[in-house]
Amino acid sequence: MQSSMIAISDLSKRFGRLEVLKSIQVDFSAGKSYAMIGPNGSGKTTLIKCILGMVIADKGEIRVDGKSIANDWTYRNRIGYMPQIGRYPDQMKIGQIFDMIRDLRQDQAHLDEDLIKEFKLDRMKDKRMGTLSGGTRQKVSASLAFLFDPPILILDEPTAGLDPIAVETLKEKILSVKSKEKTFLISSHIMSDLDELSSHLVYLEEGKMLFNDTIDSLKEETGESKLGRAVASIMRRNLKEMEA
């Protein structure tokens, strides 16, 4: 068995009456790339936020690199996170955001500024975050996630809102970094992207983990050659099981 980078056991979370995560049990192995899919509101973002310690789980444990994350914050040194909707202080400039985060993570020696250059963010250093379009914010988020060359990368719908050129740039970046033994966790609704980027699939529905295997074995099981079709057939099967 491979070493698990992120180990989640029996994780549950409710927001008021709504049970968002129901006893999630999953291991993300080091050096693998995981696609996380599921309908809207299935708990993907909540699970990601639990891993980051932004949402505190009611029950269960998350271990990153073998250590429990409860009451710890240093493990976030090892994570690059790109949020679904990057929210930044409106009055700060792009350059100031990068400087501040760099200032906070001083101990990191190696900086990876490829994305900043490729997205041409270094030419917009003086633009305020409040004036940026949604796509440009996503570019800032992506550049921040990759900046410190972290061993774990968590991307929450990375390609949503980006223009086609930026999507390709980001995908190329993910693929080039992937070869460096990084652990990826990518949530998305765009199956063709995930087909290219990941080797494993995690399927969440209504806060439950319904499927966790390699993409190849999923394709084999369903007899489909495309991830989109394979997932659709799994979802249909689940629906039938629920109705039955």
Partner 1 sequence: MIRIAKYVLYDIVRNRFILLYTLLLLTVTLSMYSLDTDPGKSTLSLLNIILLVVPLVSIIFTTIHFFNSYEFIELLLSQPVNRKTIFFAEFLSIAFALSCAFLIGVALPMVLLNFNASTPYLIMAGLLLTFVFVALAFGASVSTRDKAKGIGVALLFWFYFTLIYDGFVLYVIYSFSDYPLEKVTLLLVSLNPIDLARIIILLKLDLSALMGYTGAFYKHFFGSSMGIAYSFSFLILWTVVPLMLAMRRFTRKDI
Residues that bind partner 1 (CB under 8 A): 15, 49, 52-56, 73-77, 79, 81, 83, 87-91, 97, 100-101, 103-105
CB-count burial class (<10 Å; 0-12, 13-18, 19+) for 107 = exposed
Shortest Cβ distance from residue 15 to partner 1 (Å)?
8
Shortest Cβ distance from residue 88 to partner 1 (Å)?
6
CB 82 within 8 A of CB 143: no
Rank residues 83 and 207 by Cβ distance to partner 1 and give the closer one: 83
| Residues sharing a CB contact under 8 Å with residue 55, sequence separation 6 or more, in sequence order | 13, 46, 49
Residue 162: phi, psi to the nearest 5? -90, 150
Rank residues 53 and 207 by Cβ distance to partner 1 and give the closer one: 53
Q: To the nearest 10°, report the CA torsion of 173, 174, 179, 184.
A: 150
Rank residues 75 and 203 by Cβ distance to partner 1 and give the closer one: 75
Rank residues 111 and 210 by Cβ distance to partner 1 and give the closer one: 111
How many of the other CB atoms lie within 10 Å of CB of 220? Answer: 12
Shortest Cβ distance from residue 119 to partner 1 (Å)?
18
Q: For residue 156, what are its two tokens?
A: 């929450």
Distance, CA of 122 to CA of 143 (rounded, Å): 11
Buried b / exposed e over 155-185, threshold 16 CB at 10 Å, is: bbbbbbbbeeebbebbbebbeebbeeebbbb
Rank residues 56 and 244 by Cβ distance to partner 1 and give the closer one: 56
Distance, CA of 147 to CA of 174 (rounded, Å): 13
Shortest Cβ distance from residue 231 to partner 1 (Å)?
28
Rank residues 63 and 229 by Cβ distance to partner 1 and give the closer one: 63
Shortest Cβ distance from residue 13 to partner 1 (Å)?
8
Q: For residue 12, what are its two tokens?
A: 């549950």
Shortest Cβ distance from residue 217 to partner 1 (Å)?
33
